[in-house]
């Protein structure tokens, strides 16, 4: 299938396919008369890449996952990738909760100390306010 057909089937853009080829996520396809011709494996790989992106895996993580699929490694390897990714997600959530608490405290401080003041005097904009 041509690149446009593949793009439509996978729900991605043609430039996305070219980008994935350039960074090694997709193998370069055979060419006929200068046009890329893809097989079913490219569609499977693109669907896997899209799924992994929806789960917020990084490009490097997806590269490792694709390699494990292509080498038919055990599911436990995929589980290891997912466990590591889950740890990173949990760390981000903790960081976001701390940031949320800091910004909430600043908003509360603004409401009680500087409502009606000029913007440059706002407690939210004071260096060191709310920093841990």
What pTM was estimated for this model as a whole?
Answer: 0.74
Contact between 19 and 55 (Cβ < 8 Å): no
For the chain, domain boundaries: 3-125
How do residues 38-49 score in pLDDT, each as one tens digit?
A: 999 999 999 999
Q: Which long-range contacts (CB under 8 A, 24 or more apart) does 52-60 make?
A: 55/85, 56/85, 56/89, 57/81, 57/85, 59/23, 59/25
What distance in Å separates the CA atoms of residue 39 and residue 44, rounded to the nearest whole number?
A: 9
Architecture of domain 3-125: Orthogonal Bundle (1.10)
Question: pLDDT tens digits, residue range 66-119?
Answer: 999 989 999 899 999 999 999 999 999 999 999 999 999 888 888 777 766 676
What does the CA dihedral 110, 116, 118, 121 come to, rounded to 10 degrees?
-30
Kindly state the average pLDDT of the residues 15-41.
Answer: 91
């Amino acid at each position: 299938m041509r690149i446009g057909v593949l793009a439509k089937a996978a729900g991605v853009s043609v430039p996305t396919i070219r980008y994935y080829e350039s960074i090694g996520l997709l193998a370069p396809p055979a060419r006929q008369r200068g046009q890329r011709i893809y097989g079913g494996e490219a569609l499977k790989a693109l669907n896997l890449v899209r799924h992994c992106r929806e789960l917020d895996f990084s490009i490097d993580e997806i590269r490792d996952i694709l390699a494990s699929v292509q080498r038919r490694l055990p599911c436990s390897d995929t589980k290891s990738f997912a466990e590591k990714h889950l740890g990173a997600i949990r760390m981000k959530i903790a960081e976001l909760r701390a940031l949320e608490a800091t910004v909430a405290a600043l908003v509360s401080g603004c409401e009680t100390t500087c409502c009606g003041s000029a913007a440059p005097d706002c407690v939210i904009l004071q260096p060191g306010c709310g920093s841990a």
